[in-house]
């Protein structure tokens, strides 16, 4: 059964929406839900005022640091939450301060394998704007050990053909396929089953969960093939608490009654489906509303026009400099993203058709 989102209820969990700003930059800076802020604050408080739960007596109690116990609990909760999000087990999840740091640690961990082969660490250019097996075919050979694939383009919204890339990789080599999924967290499934990936790399920031990243392996056995000690997992326990809370928030999006049943994995799947449906409709409304006024980017080929997309669009206003458009929008309390090529609008579950209408009115004043 397809569940729907109670957007008014969801918006109530974002205190930042009470101000004057309309946030249209969910692709860059998703707003932080109150449950996440509260979880981080509680975790910092735990560290600051932690006291032993029992008198520190007896041989086994000596040296016990309650702050360390709290930290371990938060880190364990984050690993389990990411495991539920991606479809693996908690012991196959590595935490780190950033995606770049985790990717660097993975290369160190795979140093022996990479010494004998090659790693494809940057997505190739695609004339169509859609990455598929064809773009990777000439780069992958029997010596390839790691293929890194972005799941979606954060500016055009195009979802790349990850499953076909993974299949092509395995037909030509024994390489692992690592998929970077932060751009489509919460709006598309990021499970190993859906992606066909071996490793998933993400930032909790994509869920409004703060600056913590995770590297999830399809199964724990993969870690026995590399130097797992290369992963330092030096992360803030408080941010780990925020990441776990962000996954819980996602799992509850489609639960308007607060009495959802089923595992967290099941509830995540239901909420992602509901979010994809809602934001797909809102994206269509956005494009239909703006089409008479703007030139959309990333639709130059037939493959791009037919591609599935996350709720992100980029556009230019003909004859008006990008900076002028951006400053006009900001002057009217609208906050989109921007690049040298155009204005980017990323929609979140807290956005509404009225946000789109407001955007259209301001752009109309420039046309």
The Cα 272–Cα 2 span in angstroms is 11
Three-state DSSP state, 136: helix
Q: What is the pLDDT of residue 294?
A: 96
Q: Which of 9-13, 44-48, 89-93, 207-211 has the lowest mean pLDDT?
A: 44-48
Model confidence at 203: pLDDT above 50: yes
226-249 per-residue burial string, b: 16 or more CB within 10 A, e: under 16:
beeeebebebbbbbbbbbbbbbbb
Measure CA 112 to chain center.
30
Model confidence at 256: pLDDT above 80: no
Q: What is the pLDDT of residue 121?
A: 61
CA angle 315, 316, 319 (to 5 degrees): 165
Which of the following CATH numbers is that of domain 38-52+65-251: 1.10.10.10, 3.30.365.10, 3.40.640.10, 3.40.50.620?
3.40.640.10
332-351 per-residue burial string, b: 16 or more CB within 10 A, e: under 16:
eebebbbeeebbbbbbbbbb
> HSE of 322 in the Cβ direction (CA atoms, 13 Å)?
15
Which of the following CATH numbers is that of domain 7-35+256-364: 3.30.470.20, 3.90.1150.10, 3.40.470.10, 3.40.50.2300?
3.90.1150.10
Task: Give 214 or 339, the one with higher predicted confidence.
Answer: 214
| Selection from 353, 217, 207 nearest residue 290 by Cα | 353
What residues are paired with 203 via a beta bridge? 213
pLDDT tens per residue across span 73-102: 999 999 999 999 999 999 999 999 999 999
| Per-domain boundaries in the chain | 7-35+256-364, 38-52+65-251
Global confidence as pTM = 0.91
The Cα 124–Cα 101 span in angstroms is 21
pLDDT tens per residue across span 93-133: 999 999 999 999 999 999 988 876 677 767 787 888 899 99
Q: How is residue 174 annotated by DSSP?
A: S
């Amino acid at each position: 059964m397809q569940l729907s989102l109670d957007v008014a209820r969801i918006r109530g969990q974002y205190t930042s929406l009470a101000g004057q700003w309309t946030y249209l930059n969910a692709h860059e800076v998703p707003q932080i839900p109150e449950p996440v802020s509260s979880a981080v604050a509680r975790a910092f408080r735990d560290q600051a005022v932690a006291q032993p739960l029992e008198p520190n007596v007896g041989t086994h109690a000596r040296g016990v640091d309650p702050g360390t116990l709290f930290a371990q609990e938060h880190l364990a909760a984050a690993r389990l939450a990411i495991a539920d999000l991606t479809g693996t087990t908690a012991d196959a999840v590595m935490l780190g301060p950033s995606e770049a740091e985790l990717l660097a640690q993975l290369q160190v961990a795979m140093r022996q394998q990479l010494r004998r082969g090659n790693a494809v660490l940057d997505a190739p250019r695609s004339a169509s704007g859609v990455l598929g097996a064809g773009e990777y075919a000439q780069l992958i050979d029997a010596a390839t050990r790691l293929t890194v694939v972005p799941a979606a383009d954060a500016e055009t919204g195009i979802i790349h053909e990850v499953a076909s890339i993974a299949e092509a990789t395995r037909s030509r080599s024994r390489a692992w396929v690592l998929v970077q999924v932060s751009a489509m967290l919460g709006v598309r499934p990021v499970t190993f089953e859906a992606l066909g990936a071996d490793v998933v790399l993400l930032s909790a920031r994509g869920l409004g969960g703060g600056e913590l990243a995770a590297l999830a392996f399809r199964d724990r056995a993969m870690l026995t093939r590399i130097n797992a000690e290369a992963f330092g997992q030096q992360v803030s326990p408080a941010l780990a608490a925020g990441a776990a809370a962000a996954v819980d928030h996602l799992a509850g999006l489609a639960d308007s009654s607060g009495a959802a049943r089923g595992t967290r994995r099941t509830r995540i799947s239901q909420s992602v489906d509901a979010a994809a449906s809602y934001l797909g409709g809102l994206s269509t409304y956005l494009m239909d509303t703006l089409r008479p006024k703007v030139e959309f980017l990333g639709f130059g080929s037939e493959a791009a026009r037919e591609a599935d997309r996350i709720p992100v669009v980029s556009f230019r206003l003909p004859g008006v400099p990008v900076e002028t458009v951006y400053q006009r929008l900001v002057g009217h309390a609208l906050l989109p993203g921007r690049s040298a090529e155009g204005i980017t609008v990323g929609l979140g579950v807290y956005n509404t058709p009225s946000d789109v209408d407001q955007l259209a009115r301001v752009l109309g004043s420039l046309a």
